[in-house]
Amino acid sequence: MNKKEITAKLAANSKQSESAVSAVLEALEELAIKMLQSKEKFVLPGFISIEAVARAARSGRNPQTGAVLQIPARTGVKVSAGTKLKKAVAK
């Protein structure tokens, strides 16, 4: 399902216009990005939590040649499902 389809379904379920729903989704995306950039955890209680995590530098191996290479430190994203989401999927 793409963003346009999600927007249409949310608009139908909430009896709001597609443009209003689209604006809310855009604002939610922007808020999540700003929070993650400032190292804050973004949480929709019971549904999902997203946080930026630091990944340390490490050495790896090229699977084709077997050569050792250095993988630099970076910031990654950790996504965790909330209890409502876990229960809904388990049914």
Q: For 34-55, what is each residue's pLDDT tens digit?
A: 999 999 999 999 999 999 999 9
Regarding whether 86 and 48 lie in a shared domain, the answer is yes
Give the CATH number of the domain where residue 70 resides: 4.10.520.10
Neighbours of 16 (CB within 10 A): 15
- Distance set, CA 84 to CA 37, 44, 51, 60 (Å): 26, 11, 19, 37
Would you say 49 and 79 are in contact if contact means Cβ atoms under 8 Å apart?
Answer: yes
pLDDT digits (tens, 9 = 90+) for 64-83: 999 999 999 999 999 999 99
Helix intervals (H) in 1-91:
3-14, 18-37, 83-90
Return the residue matching tokens 């009896």.
15
Domain total of the chain: 2
Neighbours of 51 (CB within 10 A): 16
**Cα 46 to Cα 38: distance, rounded to the nearest angstrom:** 23
Regarding whether 58 and 31 lie in a shared domain, the answer is no
Regarding whether 49 and 29 lie in a shared domain, the answer is no
Regarding whether 53 and 81 lie in a shared domain, the answer is yes
pLDDT digits (tens, 9 = 90+) for 14-31: 999 999 999 999 999 999
Regarding whether 84 and 57 lie in a shared domain, the answer is yes
Regarding whether 5 and 17 lie in a shared domain, the answer is yes
Query: Residue 4 belongs to what domain range?
Result: 1-40
Single residue among 25, 40, 55 that ends a domain in this structure? 40
